[in-house]
Every structure is written in structure tokens, then in C-alpha cells.
Amino acid sequence: MKAFTVDKYGDASQVRAAEVPDPVVGADDVLVRIHAASVNPLDMRIRAGDFKAFMPYRLPLVLGNDLAGTVVQVGPDVTEFAVGDEVYARPDKDRIGTFAEQIAVRQDDLAPKPATLTMAEAASLPLVALTAWQALVERAHVQPGQKVLIHAGAGGLGSIAVQLAKALGAHVATTVSTAKVGLAKELGADEVIDYRTQDFETLLDGYDVVLDSLGGDNLAKSLRVLKRGGTAISVAGPPDPSFARELGANPVLRLAMTALSFKTRRRAKRLGVTYSFLFMRASGIQLRAITPFVDAGRIRPVVDRVFPFDETLQAMEYVEKGRAKAGKVVVSMT
């Protein structure tokens, strides 16, 4: 089958179209014919080798981290899906590879595709929707009336997180560029901060939760807008000891992660707040919980552009160079 692979870690020149063997379908696997897959910044970070210390992929590797498609085969132990079902998923981190014509996914990582969405729309959701769910529902336990700050609220993750936080009953603030203020309001944000002309730290205070996707100084400032007992969850900040334990990292790697996040955790402790690093995981159960929000119109995908499968390299370049105006970029196989 045709796929886009990375032969060795590096820049965009390391990704190429290739013929690769068809997936092997295990007893608990579902073989999916991929109709669409979305491009995530994670794809470029994997290509660059940013995670090779704790996710040592075997190269060459097929890239791609979420999908929508149709079931074409099921393993003998599969009970939840049948041939012909329309599904969407973020495959497990050890079994990525959605920039391809087919993929074998564990049944526990799959969910039925939202009935109201096209394949391209559905493919834009799994990774960012799961990230938002695991941050706001599973980790922060957002409750009605709480104040939640979502950074980059017009981006792939932010656009979904803003809608989810509103659906959970929160008062939501977000940061966006000038051109995206209108979109952020359409998505339901109660307070929209134009980061080009305003400083969110001087305008916001007493927040219960911050979801940070930028790291660095943005994360440091985010800690200061939280009330005591508040939580900052970052997908871009330094990994923390809890993540090292979840990963089952060796002692050297655990020590390194502890050191990387020491200053941030110390700063948070002094402010009476909590810092938490999040690296999302696959979950069909959580996708099933998200789907009703989608089918009810409370969460809608934001798709910037759809590229044909043959132009996957161009789609990755489009994302990497920051050309997307809002939401996600999708690759369509059909």
C-alpha cells in the first residue's frame, strides 16, 4: 500500500511517499481503510526525533496520528466493530501511521464516527479532542461556573478545548491573534484576548484552570493568573515526574524529566497552584463520550484546508510553516 514514511529523523526532506507492506491484523485489531487523516504538529516533532528518548520508533516509520475511515476486516477477538462500520481514532502512540491507505488499530482505540460529520471533519478531531478531554475532564475535573483559560483558542487544540469547556459550563477566556477574535467568539469564548495588542496576565485573574499549548514564558505567566489551588496543564511545557512514572521511564530518564520541570513546579508551588504536563493517550471510550457533544452541535470541527493524499508532504509543510488560519489541516484519501 502507499504511505508517507520517515526514513531517519530530521527535517522535511526525510519524509517520502513509499510502498509499504499491508498491515498485519492481530486478534484484537480492526483493519481500517483510511478516508482521511489530519496533520498535527506532533507529526513534525516525531519526524524530527524530539521524542526518541522515550518513544524509540523503529524506522522507517509511517507518520500520521489520527484518522477516519471504514472497517474492512476484524480480528477474531473483536466484538465492538464489523466490516463496513465508519470509525474514527487516534491510534496508540506505539502504532501510529495514518498517512497511509490502511491501518490496523486496536478495537479499544476506535469509536464509531460521529454521524453528523464528513470523513474529513471526523479525521480532524481524535487527537485534539482527546487532548482537550483528558485535560479538562479527566485531569482538571472542570465544573460549571469555573473559570478556564485556553491558549491559542483558534488553533487545532484550542478551538475544540474552548467548545468543550463551554459545554462543561465553564466561563472561558482564550488568547488569539487579531484576525481570529471573531472566530473565538463564535466558538463560545466569553473573554477573547488579542495577544498582539493585549497582555492576558494583566487582564485575567482568579482562574481555576489553564490549558497551555505554547510553553515557555506563556506558561510562566499562566501560573500567575490562577487562583490558589488552580491547575495549569501544558502540552508544550516541560515533562514532569508524573509523566515519567506513567511512561515507565528508566531512572536516568525520570531524573532528567524531574530536572527539566523543577523550576516550573517550584514556581507553581510558591504560587499555591499545580503544574501538570499532558501527553495524550489513545482511548476509544473517551471518543465515544465526546461523540454526543459533536452530534448535538456543541462541539464542531474547525477545518482550515483539505489536501489530497498525494499532497501529504505539502500539507505537512503548510502546517509546519504556520500557514493554517484556524483549526486543523486534513489529508483526504478519497
pLDDT tens-digit map of 80-99: 999 999 999 999 999 999 99
Cα–Cα distance measured from residue 184 to residue 180, given in angstroms and rounded to the nearest whole number: 6
Residues 68 and 111: beta-carbon distance below 8 Å? no
CATH of the domain at 73: 3.90.180.10
156 and 100 together in one domain: no
Q: Is residue 293 part of a domain?
A: no
| pLDDT for the residue 246 | 83
95 and 222 together in one domain: no
The band of 289, judged by pLDDT with boundaries at 50, 70 and 90, is: very high
Q: Is residue 282 part of a domain?
A: no
| pLDDT for the residue 196 | 95
| pLDDT for the residue 244 | 82
| pLDDT for the residue 236 | 94
Mean model confidence pLDDT for the chain: 96
95 and 75 together in one domain: yes
Cα–Cα distance measured from residue 232 to residue 274, given in angstroms and rounded to the nearest whole number: 6
| pLDDT for the residue 297 | 96
Cα–Cα distance measured from residue 101 to residue 103, given in angstroms and rounded to the nearest whole number: 7
Cis peptide before 60 (omega within 30 of 0): yes
| pLDDT for the residue 61 | 95
137 and 240 together in one domain: yes
Mean pLDDT, residues 198-209 taken together: 98
| pLDDT for the residue 334 | 83
| pLDDT for the residue 247 | 80
pLDDT digits (tens, 9 = 90+) for 6-35: 999 999 999 999 999 999 999 999 999 999
pLDDT digits (tens, 9 = 90+) for 165-174: 999 999 999 9
pLDDT at 266 over 90: yes
23 and 136 together in one domain: no
Residues 282 and 91: beta-carbon distance below 8 Å? yes
241 and 119 together in one domain: no
- Which has the minimum average pLDDT: 71-85, 111-125, 191-205, 229-243? 229-243
Cα–Cα distance measured from residue 294 to residue 131, given in angstroms and rounded to the nearest whole number: 15
31 and 107 together in one domain: yes
Residues 327 and 159: beta-carbon distance below 8 Å? yes
Q: Is residue 228 part of a domain?
A: yes
239 and 151 together in one domain: yes
Q: Determine the 3-state secondary structure of 225 from DSSP.
A: coil
Q: Is residue 15 part of a domain?
A: yes
Backbone φ and ψ for 134, nearest 5 degrees, come out as: -70, -30
Q: Which domain holds residue 160?
A: 127-277
pLDDT at 51 over 90: no
Mean pLDDT, residues 201-206 taken together: 97
Q: Is residue 289 part of a domain?
A: no
Residues 237 and 223: beta-carbon distance below 8 Å? no
Residue among 90, 64, 54, 66 nearest 239 (CA): 54
Total domains in the fold of the chain: 2
| pLDDT for the residue 169 | 98
| pLDDT for the residue 55 | 78
